[in-house]
Structure 1
């Protein structure tokens, strides 16, 4: 399975202490250079900077060779490169949360999942206590509607 990730799922999984879920669910994760730079940036949370500085061997950084286009250029560099890399690799899954990027991704026929989809899959495989993970996620800057969150929790209760 080829899985490409943008910064958001990695960032929040590190912050809630559940980054291992990416490897547990998908094995290898591939990120473009722009995502690596964002994770390493001084503006990133310190736990995220520390994690990427000593990244596990299941995380692969790959340059993007496909040229950008007008639509991609309107996105954040990490999101744009993630979409281009997923297209180039014919990825099975692209991990990202940003709504604008998700819209572009679905228009291009790519399969996507965000942090809630990852936690949902992990809960179905009994890899995480969903309620605890969601509580931790709510203590970060991640925003999700109460209705969506409640539907996810109800699904696993």
Structure 2
């Protein structure tokens, strides 16, 4: 019986998001501290929902590369938001599938719900939007070489 690698996503009190990848006894773990990144995005007038999705993609890629160096990472997830992502104050992310060089990951804790990403006006009327992301993220050869060296 083959052992599938596992990706675990855990939200802690809307203050941090943990990302952990495990294969056999090997694991890698990273944490996104929301207060720090939100403060930066607000100060620089960046859309927090979009920036969080970009950061999450990057953290998942890095976490998996540390236990299983790979060229292509395929991520598929749905995002439900209370407005267009540029203006959303709440998002819910549902991970559907993750593969690294055609090796599928079991996903544990596949949903992330974040609120208070930005201030909303008193007359704000939420309009639920659903977006599906299906993307491939390539590891540059020089970076892949470094991960391979770290692994050996």
Q: Tell me which protein shows more helix as a share of its residues.
A: 1
TM-score normalized by structure 1?
Answer: 0.28
Q: Tell me which protein shows more strand as a share of its residues.
A: 2
TM-score normalized by structure 2?
Answer: 0.29
